[in-house]
Amino acid sequence: MENGDGSGDNPEGIAYHEGVEEIRLDYELDTEKRIIVVYDQEMIKDWKEGEIKVLVNEENNELTHAIKIETITKTSDRATIHYSDPDVNEVVSSVNVNGKEMQNGTITPAEGVEFLNAQSRANIEGSFDAFEEISFKKTIAKGLDLTGSFKIESIDYDLNIKLNWLNTKVNRVYFVVNSKFNAGLHGDVGNIGDKIALAELRIPIAYGAIMIRGTLYAVYNLDGTIDFQWEYTNTTGIDYKKGKLNFVNKNSSGIKEMEMEASLRGGFAIEPGVELFSMDVMTLGAEYGKSFDAKLDVISIDPWKYCLQGDMYSYAKIYGELLPGILDKEFNKELLNKSNAFDLESLHFEETGLVDACTRNFGELVAKIQDAKEPDKKLENIIVELLSNGEIVKKINSEDGEVHITEIPSGKYQLLIIMDGYESLSKNIEIKKQEVLDLGVLMINPIIDEEDNQIILEANQTYIVDIKNEDIKLVSDFHETPLEFEILRYYLSAESQYQIGSYKVLNTELSNTIAYKAPIDGEHEKIELRTHASAACHLIETIRDENGSIIDVREVPIKDEYISITKVDRPIVQEIEVSNGQAIEFSTVFEMYGPFVQIDSNSGSFEIYYYDDFLEKWEKDLYSNGKVYVDDNEPKLVVNVAGTTKMYIPYVFEEYIHYASLDNPFLS
């Protein structure tokens, strides 16, 4: 398919493909059964199955129809033709029509809608001129009436399309509806909303070849009590030209009357379909009206006092599809909203009526801001913001740490405190009408220099770590250099009392916590650990509320009040040298999993055997990596097969592991 770039290559009017015949005759049409009955059989004597005809009814344009003949059945007084609906590009080779329609067409009230003559106010029944100004009334809910008037001023159109099976050229499709509305909502209801039909439209254009069929709707969403009337002039449509779809939207509006205790969204929608000989060319929907985004604050019940405030603005949107089955150009566009409305204004209502501003639903905020590390330090140039849904509602600068914000509308906010050199502080608060919220002292933390905020633990060293606060943890740099280490001892309340640690290399890729204050068969005060690699470490503090729930986690400086770390000089191992062919049996009385003997695999080949009590025989350990774990159930036997091998017993296990030389039962 190709989009044209001009409008002069089509003859004016509507041209048919070769073999398509336009004929004017009287007939009866049943579109549901797809049957046409013709009584003058002479007019159709040469018709054949498969032919396409355009039937024109000059007395009733709505009967004008394109058909593809399926069967023809003749009797003595009539011919009955069964037909199917052809595609528009089977019938029409080109369309080039334009103009302004202002006088033809009908409009019919929907069920339950009363139409009144605009001058006499008398009820009107049946269909009438689509371009006449008509008043209407519709009860849309118990206690709520919709009244008003509308007039379709004109319909502007310009269709220039060339159609065939191989190449459809769309030069231009221009379709614009000009209308004027005056509407009012009157009543006292709860939260309701609907889209209700007011009237059905039938407007022929291009001498009846093109028919506009559609529905006029009233759209509303209401919560509260309202007596509201407004007028609206609107021009809405589309202009598709040179392959580009543009939207036409011109509006003006005015409020004629307003007394309300409600939020409101109300307007009109017109949804016409454009048909060429009853074949779809376009569907179009346009909705436009007024929106009042309001919030109701009740000050007191007795006496009744309230404040209703919000933003009122026009809204408009357009939606539909152009040339379905050919161009298949769908569109759904918001033309006007709160961000670009030409008539946005803030409105405020109290029980006495419209006021310049609501004042009785305001509250206040007071607080004192201090340095969390040096409370007596003078703070200057502090920015304090109140945000609602991400937008700043109030903003002040405090020169001395004192905060006092007045005239804050009641509601929930985010309090944000910003100061150079300090971490930002965020806090959720709620302001209540005619009350002062006193937050007391708010502490902000200075941003810590990286050099003052880390400890470097060296590789292959032993440290005693003393965490002094149960909310403090020592962690390694998780993303850069996670620390591999072994816990040697857990010290209890006295340094002379301790428990042996697990002595395993911890997988810090899963957890980067090194030490914290926690009970291990009783609260331990310190831990002793041995590093395997160097790493930068930091302190993390868990912040809790008064109920003990965690509300924040933050990095804190390295200070004596939080932690002390001491490097100690310890003998690392007890060394055992095993000669070629020598066997060593190990045993322990230690009941906790962990004690082991390390074998230096670089100094010689070795095999490890353990005695299986159930099988009553020695079994070879196939999974050893040189670390022999010793527990009270399985003594170990090491057999050297080549050279001399060194073994090491960590000093913390010396008093728990026993060993002795054996005759080697496996020596070949």
CB 619, CB 609: distance < 8 Å: yes
154 forms bridges with which residues in the sheet?
178
Q: How far is CA 374 from CA 329, 417, 423, 443, 540, in A?
A: 67, 17, 14, 10, 20
Mean pLDDT of 483-490: 68
pLDDT at 337 over 90: no
Report the alpha-carbon distance of residue 250 to residue 191 in Å, rounded: 31
Q: Do 124 and 264 belong together in one domain? A: yes
For residues 498 and 423, membership in a common domain is answered with no
Instruction: Please report where in the chains the tokens 């009122």 appear, as a residue.
Output: 312
Q: Say if residue 520's pLDDT is above 50.
A: no
Name the pLDDT band for 12 (thresholds 50, 70, 90).
confident
Output the pLDDT for position 502: 45
Residue 668 lies in a domain: no
Verify that 80 and 34 share a domain, yes or no: yes
Distance CA 367, CA 289 (A): 44
Residue 452: left (phi > 0), alpha (psi -120 to 50), or beta? Answer: alpha
For the chain, the average pLDDT equals: 76
Structural domain total, the chain: 5
Q: What is the pLDDT of residue 52?
A: 93
Torsion of CA 516, 522, 523, 525, to 10 degrees: -90
Quick one: 46 and 175 in the same domain? no
Is the predicted pLDDT of residue 383 greater than 50, yes or no?
yes
Task: For residues 464 and 421, state if they share a domain.
Answer: no
pLDDT tops 70 at residue 352: yes
Average pLDDT of span 467-477:
79
* Mean pLDDT to the nearest integer, 5-28: 77
Same domain flag for 516 and 621: no
Q: Token digits for 150?
A: 């509308």
Whether the CA torsion 273, 276, 278, 280 is positive or negative: it is negative
Asked if residue 2 is part of any domain, the answer here is no
Q: How far apart are CA 91 and CA 55, in angstroms?
A: 12
With beta carbons less than 8 A apart as the criterion, state whether 126 and 108 touch. yes
| 52 neighbors 81 (Cβ within 8 angstroms) | no
d(CA 101, CA 179): 13
The percent of residues in the chain predicted with pLDDT above 90, rounded, is: 12
Tens of pLDDT along 273-292? 888 877 788 888 888 777 77
User: Does some domain include residue 496?
Assistant: yes
What pLDDT was estimated at residue 3?
37
Q: What is the mean pLDDT of residues 618-632?
A: 64
Domain edge (last residue) among 289, 321, 355: 355
How much of the chain exceeds pLDDT 70, in percent? Answer: 69
| pLDDT at residue 590 greater than cutoff 60 | no
The burial of 553, by beta-carbon neighbours within 10 Å (0-12 exposed, 13-18 middle, 19 or more buried), is given as: exposed
More confident position, 86 or 618: 86
Q: What is the pLDDT of residue 519?
A: 47
Residue 289 Cα distances to 182, 217, 253, 349, angstroms: 10, 12, 9, 21
Q: What pLDDT score was predicted for residue 79? A: 93
Q: Is the peptide bond before 595 cis (omega within 30 degrees of 0)?
A: no
Domain-embedded: residue 99: no
What is the 3-class SS of 375-442, one letter each residue? CCCCCCCEEEEEEECCEEEEEEEECCCEEEEEEEECEEEEEEEECCCECCEEEEEEECCCCEEEEEEE
- In tens, the pLDDT along 384-435 reads 999 988 888 999 999 999 999 998 888 899 999 999 888 889 999 999 888 8
* Separation between Cα atoms, residue 359 and residue 79, nearest integer Å: 79
Query: Rounded to an integer, what distance in angstroms lies between the CA atom of residue 200 and that of residue 211?
Result: 13
Q: Is residue 7 part of a domain?
A: no
Report how far residue 476's alpha carbon sits from residue 457's, in angstroms, rounded to the nearest whole number. Answer: 9
Q: 351 and 371, same structural domain? A: no
DSSP state for residue 483 in the 8-state scheme: P
According to DSSP, the β-strands at 362-371 and 436-444 are: parallel
Do residues 638 and 608 make contact, with C-beta atoms less than 8 angstroms apart? yes
Distance CA 24, CA 43 (A): 9
The Cα-based distances of 304 to 120, 262, 336 in angstroms read: 41, 15, 36
pLDDT score recorded for residue 382: 93
Q: Which of 543, 568, 593 is a domain's end point? A: 568
Q: Which domain holds residue 477?
A: 450-568
373: closest CA among 549, 551, 537, 541? 541
DSSP string, 185-205: EEEEEEEEEEEEEEEEEEEEE
CA distances from 119 to 115, 124, 135, 186, 338 (A): 12, 12, 9, 22, 36
DSSP state string for 556-614: E---TTTEEEEEE----EEEEEE-TT-EEEEEE---SS--EEEE-TTS-EEEEEEEETT
Q: How far apart are CA 280 and CA 273, in angstroms?
A: 7
Residue 300 is assigned to a structural domain of this protein: yes
pTM over 0.75: no
131 phi and psi angles, rounded to 5 deg: -105, 15
Domain assignment present for 667: no
> Which CATH number covers residue 72?
2.40.240
Between CA 445 and CA 269 the distance in angstroms is 56
- 422 and 526 in a common domain: no
| Angstrom distance (rounded) from CA 313 to CA 251 | 12
Whether residue 651 has pLDDT greater than 70: no
φ, ψ of residue 44 in degrees (nearest 5): -120, 20
Residue 89 has pLDDT above 70, yes or no: yes
| 485 located within any domain | yes
The more confidently predicted of residues 470 and 26 is 26
Q: Does residue 372 sit in the same domain as residue 310?
A: no
The Cα angle at residue 56 between residues 53 and 61, in degrees rounded to 5:
135
pLDDT at site 495: 47
Strand partners, 23: 55
551 and 577 within one domain: no
Of 67, 93, 119, the position where a domain reaches its end is: 93
CA atoms of 190 and 242, how far apart (whole Å): 49
Q: How many CB atoms lie within 10 A of CB 77?
A: 7
Query: Is residue 247 located within the same domain as residue 155?
Result: yes
How confident is the model over 218-272, as pLDDT tens digits? Answer: 777 766 566 667 777 888 888 988 788 888 888 777 666 555 555 566 677 788 8
3-state SS class at 137: strand
pLDDT at 506: 42
Same domain? For 351 and 374 the reply is no
pLDDT of the residue at 366: 95
